[in-house]
Structure 1
Amino acid sequence: MLFTHDTDVALAALAALVNTEKGEPDPLADPAGLDAFVDEWGWTGRRRHDEQERREVVRVRSRLVALWGATEDETVTLVNDLLRQAGAVPQLVRHDQWDYHLHATSAEAPLATRMAVEAAMAMVDVVRAGELGRLRWCTADDCDNVMVDLSKNRSRRYCDGGCGNRANVAAYRARQASGTG
């Protein structure tokens, strides 16, 4: 295990949030879409379920996109800015099915703030471990999604959008067509 379980989940949620920016139509285009995303990723805490909350999350998302391709120093600057702006105060909490883990905002903080801080705290672990290279783009020709490679041997090439299956099927069909498969 490279990172703690809560960091793994936060990194996966971070990549999923960033990938919503590429969706057509944008999955976060309205409060109902944000609700679906929040439910899918199990975000807890206070919610307003309104357009202002959605706009705040979209603004945070646009800032988090910069983590992919950023240098270590750029990442540190962004992470520190996110934590400072949120007034983050790390604390151990236990809720729902989760044992003790780290939160740096209260459950009453705005959703966008909680999302920004969760992403920033996960990135703290990535930077400290010297693992920024695990933030990647899907290598499928027809995909520009981001991903976090949490495999032991750093071999993950495709996002969770089915790209790996499509690439394997295409390679199989090419082998069959050429008579080498």
Structure 2
Amino acid sequence: MLFAHDTEVALGAACGLVNTGRQPTDELADPADLDRFVERWRFTGSRTHDAAELDAVRALRPRLERLWSVGEDEAVDIVNGLLREGGALPQLVRHDGWDYHLHATPPDAPLADRMAVEAAMAFVDVLRMGELGRLGICDAASCQDVLVDLSKNRSRRFCSTSCANRTNVTAYRARRAGSPRPQ
């Protein structure tokens, strides 16, 4: 394991959040979409379930997205800004079947602040370990989703199995089209 479990989950959630805005249609179109996202990634704490909360979460996406395209110094500035604005005060907690892990905001902080600080805390580990190279963009021709490569050999190229399969089938068909057919 490269990072602590909660760091890997937070990186996955940050990646997932960024990718909700990289699709042809916004995957966080309404509060119900946000509810499903929050449930999928198991965010805890208070919620308002309103348009303002949704807007705040959507406003977080481009800030996180920049982390996939900047150098170390700018990434540090982004992470420090997220931590400062979210009033981060790291504490060890245990809840909902999770063993001890870090929370850096109180449970009644706004959802977007909790999401921002949780992502920033995960990126602290990425930066401290010199692992910004593990952030990437899917190699599939028709996809621009971001990804976090947590593989041991740094070989992840695709955001999902679907993109990998689609790319491999396309390459196979191209090879078959160019090879002589048995008679």
Q: TM-score when scaled to structure 1?
A: 0.95
Give, in angstroms, the shift of residue 172 of structure 1. Answer: 2.8
Q: Is 2:87 the counterpart of 1:87?
A: yes
Deviation at 1:151, TM superposition (A): 0.4
Distance 2:180 2:97 in 1: 51
CA apart distance, 1:97 = 1.6
Distance 1:25 1:161, change over 3 A: farther
- Whether contact under 8 Å (2:141, 2:167) holds in the other structure is no
Which segment drifts farther, 85-94 or 21-30?
21-30
Q: Report the 3-state secondary structure (helix = DSSP H, G, I; strand = E; otherwise coil) of the residue aligned with 1:162.
A: helix
Residues 31-57 of structure 1: per-residue CA shift (max 9 Å, x gap):
111111111111111111000000010
SS class of match (1:93)? strand
Aligned residue runs from structure 1 range 63-142, under 5 A: 63-142=63-142
The Cα shift of 1:179 comes to 5.4
Greater alpha carbon shift after TM alignment, 9-18 vs 19-28: 19-28
Query: Aligned pair count?
Result: 180
Q: CA RMSD in A?
A: 1.3
Secondary structure in 1 aligned to 2:49? Answer: coil
Counterpart residue type for residue 152 of structure 1: K
Match of 1:56 in 2: 56
What residue ranges of structure 2 are gaps of 5+ in the alignment? Answer: none
Q: Deviations over 1:76-129 (max 9, x none)?
A: 001001101111000000011210001101111110000000110000000000
Q: Distance in 2 between matches of 1:77 and 1:49?
A: 30
1:146 aligned residue: 146
Q: Larger C-alpha radius of gyration, 1 or 2?
A: 2
Structure 1 residues 15 and 179: alpha-carbon distance in aligned structure 2, compared to 1, 3 A threshold: farther
Identity of matched residues, %:
63
Secondary structure at 1:77 match in 2: helix
Partner residue in 1 for 2:8: 8
Of stretches 168-177 and 41-50 in structure 1, the one that deviates more from structure 2 is: 168-177
In the alignment, the residues of structure 2 paired with residue 121 and residue 164 of structure 1 have an alpha-carbon distance, to the nearest angstrom, of 30
5+ residue gaps, structure 1, are none
- Tell me the TM-score normalized by structure 2: 0.94
Per-residue deviation, 1:29: 1.4
Q: Measure, in 2, the Cα distance between the counterparts of 1:161 and 1:79.
A: 30
Q: C-alpha distance in 1, partners of 2:168/2:124?
A: 34
* 1:39 paired residue number: 39
